Amino acid sequence: MSLALAKNTEEDLWTILEQMSLRDKIGQLRQVDGSGGRADQSLLGAIREGRVGSVINVVDPVLVNELQQIALEESPCGIPLVFARDVIHGFKTIFPIPLGQAATWNTDLAKEAARLAASEAYAAGIRWTFAPMIDVSRDPRWGRIAESFGEDPLLNAVFGRAMIEGFQGEDLAALGSIAACAKHFVGYGDSESGIDYSSTNVSEFELRNVHLEPFREAVAAGVASVMSSLSDVDGIPATAHRELIRGVLRDEWGFAGLVVSDWDSVKQLTVHGITADDREAAYQAAEARIDIEMTSDAYENHLEDLVSAGEIGVDTIDAMVMSVLTLKKNIGLFDVPYTPKDYKLGVSESAATDCAHRQASESFVLLKNDNAVLPIDRKEIDSICLVGPMADQPQEQLGTWVFDGDSGLSVTPLKAFQDTLHKDCEVVFERGLETTRSSCGELAEVAVEKASCCDVVLAIIGEEAILSGEAHCRANINLPGDQVEFVRRLKATGKTVIVIILSGRPLTIGNILPHADAVLFALHPGTMTGPAICDLIFGHTSPSGKLPFTLPKSVGQIPIYYSKKNGGRPATHDSIMSIDDIPAGAEQTSFGMTAFHLDDGFEPLFPFGFGLSYANFEYSDLTILSNELTQGGKLKVSVRVGNIGLKDAYEVVQLYVRDRVGSITRPVRELKAFEKILIPAGQVRDVRFSLSRADFSFYRRCREYGVEPGAFDLWVGGSSLADLHVAFEIDA
């Protein structure tokens, strides 16, 4: 008889637990890959025997219900399975990659997109996703930067919260809600050399003040689960890091949810060299309180023996199983274990594509717009030429880690321009390069010839989706192939050339800027890439995206990020010297004796938070309205932002602070607040921010969090180079 009959209280779960055998309990801690589907008889047998608690990668709702029926009616305890899937930036409808969502600086859109993705995934039987990824990522060589929200802890925290709230909804047990998972705990974004699965050597202060902050926010947001990192953290693999998982996550922050390993990472502890064999790997992971082992079988093969030998207590196993049962209870599996056959009626394709369109439009960052060539007045052109390997690629524009996306829903740039312009303007298309990695050849010659006969040229280039994402790291982040040479040839025709870059990561694009009249940069914008580009090119919307990362001049500048430390000899424009300025036979000298590269200086190509608009914004009247931080109140700040341009547009108003003196060295600037506002042409808006003591708190030399009194600087503006400044003091 089934033990699991609509159990909804903690007491009910303990009743179930008390009636389970040790083998039954260990089965709940095992997640298996169900990609084999019906043909995998071993999966069916394992479910019947109660040796499976969750299944990943089954997305057929009919099969989901068949497997669920076996678990409920034929397994020893009748405990429902939870079906999981990576729903990273959409399910059927694909939104911009997370890095692109961060470029919108619009958390409301991120929450809406996650909600719609959850609804589509739920219809396929999915109740748990492994997103959001909130690793602070400062190395664009790392393929998984695509899944992050960029280089800043605050952006990762607020976008992580938005996606968690979108996935989980107001009621995690409601139809259309799925459990979120904050990953990868912790420091994964700091992998050495930008290589996936590599070591992360992160100091205690950097770990606390940078990498842990988004996870602390995720816990505060009520995230249902957390995934451990594949990497080690200062020599201890995260999957076995008791001090971080038990110590910080559970004991210090009070996280009561479920912790899952990454794919096969328990058995990989032996590859790391932290354990001698799978038995010891199972021991260390369980002691760290990894509740579920994803896809590998160290728990299944060794936990029972470890308990029998007295090396792991039954109380530890029970705590792990309770985490699993509690997740299943919280997502409503004991009440609604099956996927409703008619749930697909609750998924609105039009609502999803509308949100994808809006989010894609807001994700584009305008980096260059010489002589205001954009937007283009449709009445002033008779022909437009679309060229480039990304101009008509419905799958590639979706970006990385898309397993269930329907490329048939994709509207490519070519399709969007053809639909928009009809007979008003001739749309000429020639790919020019077969892929983003191709060399110039006959296709390029044909494209250049066609471009020379048109009024305006749109070169849509970048990276294919496969060039970024997990295990797709690059040592050279230039535009691949002959794309720069291709654009150079297009510009040599004398035509206006608009370059649109679709990428999965920041790229070193300084070599293409001289050959473009305007440059729009976007992070694989998803299903509605084409309509978003069309809107921006013709001025139906103004670009409002801002960089969630720093764009380097060259790979040699990496890591480069805005919130750096000063060091003892910070560079200034007066202190640096170019390698070309050094005379032959020069005597040995330290030149300006400051921190810079001889061949690239100290400034990036484009700073964090940067993005142009079709409008012009003017900042003034930065005022501290009140400073009551010592009384537990707020620091209230006001700034006036005027649109002195001719077009209505959104602006992202950004607030940065600096703690001038600390018990440990502090960043030169830290983003503390931002607001995206619509300002009509010719109008002014007063923007107010309210900061608490927590906004100035950090992990200090005394190994405690807190605010240190003293002098602070505050800037407000349209990027991390904001120069509107005011100083203030915080007393003890």
User: 182 pairs with which residues across the strands?
Assistant: 226
Tell me the C-alpha distance between 130 and 292, whole Å.
13
Catalytic site positions = 262
End-to-end CA distance of the chain: 64
Residue 598's CB is within 10 A of a number of other CB atoms, namely 13
* The domains spanning 86-333 and 617-730 adopt the same CATH topology: no
CA neighbor of 727 nearest in space, from 653, 665, 667, 637: 637
3-state secondary structure of 138: coil
- pLDDT, tens digit, for every residue of 658-711? 999 999 999 999 999 999 999 999 999 999 999 999 999 999 999 999 999 999
Whole-angstrom Cα Rg for the chain: 27
At 1 the pLDDT is 37
Extents of the domains making up the chain: 86-333, 351-537, 617-730
**Helices in 5-49 by DSSP H: which ranges?**
10-18, 22-28, 41-48
Neighbours of 37 (CB within 10 A): 14
Calculate the CA 364 to chain-centre distance. 16
| DSSP code of residue 94 | B
| Contact of 596 with 575, CB cutoff 8 Å | yes
- Write down the residue that tokens 């919260």 correspond to: 161
DSSP characters for 256-270? Answer: -SEEE--TTTTTHHH
- Evaluate the CA torsion angle 479, 483, 489, 490 in order and state its sign: negative
Task: Please state the CATH superfamily assignment of the domain spanning residues 351-537 in this structure.
Answer: Glycoside hydrolase family 3 C-terminal domain (3.40.50.1700)
Structure tokens, 263: 């794919």
pTM, full prediction: 0.97
> Dihedral through CA 671, CA 674, CA 679, CA 685, nearest 10?
-90
Q: How far is C-alpha 260 from the geometric centre of its chain's CA atoms?
A: 19
Instruction: Give the 3-state DSSP-derived string for 441-455, with helices as H, strands as E and coil as C.
Output: CHHHHHHHHHHCCCC
Q: What is the DSSP letter of 427?
A: E
Cα torsion angle, 703, 705, 709, 712, sign: positive
Q: How far is residue 130's CA from residue 150's CA, in Å, rounded to a whole number?
A: 18
Give, in order, the Cα–Cα distances in Å from 364 to each of 80, 100, 403, 537, 612.
43, 8, 24, 11, 10
Question: Mean pLDDT in runs of 10 for the chain (732 residues)?
Answer: 61 94 98 82 93 97 96 97 98 98 98 98 97 98 98 98 98 97 97 94 96 98 98 96 98 98 98 98 98 98 98 98 98 96 79 97 98 96 97 98 96 97 91 97 97 98 97 97 98 98 98 98 98 98 98 97 95 88 84 86 96 98 93 92 96 98 98 98 98 96 96 98 96 84
* Cα 163 to Cα 433: distance, rounded to the nearest angstrom: 37
Reported CATH class of domain 617-730: mainly beta
Q: Which amino acid is at 714?
A: L
pLDDT at position 5 is 52
Which class in CATH covers the domain with range 86-333? alpha beta
Task: With CA atoms as reference, report the closest residue to 414 among 292, 235, 321, 537.
Answer: 537
pLDDT on residue 701: 98
Task: For residues 2 and 152, give the distance between their C-alpha atoms in angstroms, rounded to a whole number.
Answer: 49
- pLDDT for the residue numbered 576: 86
**What DSSP assignment string belongs to 585-615?**
TPPP--TT-SB-BTTTBSS-SB-TT--B-SS
